[in-house]
């Protein structure tokens, strides 16, 4: 089992993508709650999503990813 990890750690993201590819996966769906919010958790989640896509692009792999927007508000106006 992996245990605690940070999605802000580039080597963790590279390892996760490599393991997924080795298992036959070809994509991830990344949950995203919107742009920077008012609390620390929102900010960290946003940074982690941005970091994931940045690291994935730097890997020059055929592995794909999509963003799933998880609305945490009744209105999507905050986007």
pLDDT at site 78: 59
In a domain, 37, yes or no: yes
Residue 56 located in a structural domain: yes
Answer whether residue 2 shows pLDDT above 90. no
Q: Is residue 74 part of a domain?
A: yes
pLDDT in tens, 35-65: 766 666 778 888 899 999 999 999 999 999 9
Answer whether residue 70 is part of any domain.
Answer: yes
Each residue's pLDDT tens digit, 64-77: 999 998 766 666 66
2 lies in some domain: no
CA dist 30 → 3, 46, 49, 50, 51 (Å): 19, 11, 7, 10, 11
Question: Does residue 3 lie within any of the structural domains?
Answer: no
Number of domains in the chain: 1
* Domain interval for residue 58: 10-14+27-78
Least confident of 7-11, 22-26, 34-38, 42-46: 34-38
């Amino acid at each position: 089992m992996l245990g605690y990890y940070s999605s802000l750690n580039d080597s963790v993201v590279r390892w996760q993508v490599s393991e997924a590819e080795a298992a036959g996966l070809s994509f991830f769906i990344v949950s995203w709650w919107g742009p920077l919010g008012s609390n620390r958790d929102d900010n960290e989640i946003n940074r982690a999503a941005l970091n994931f896509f940045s690291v994935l692009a730097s890997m020059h792999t055929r592995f794909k990813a999509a963003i799933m927007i998880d609305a945490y508000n009744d209105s999507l106006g905050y986007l």
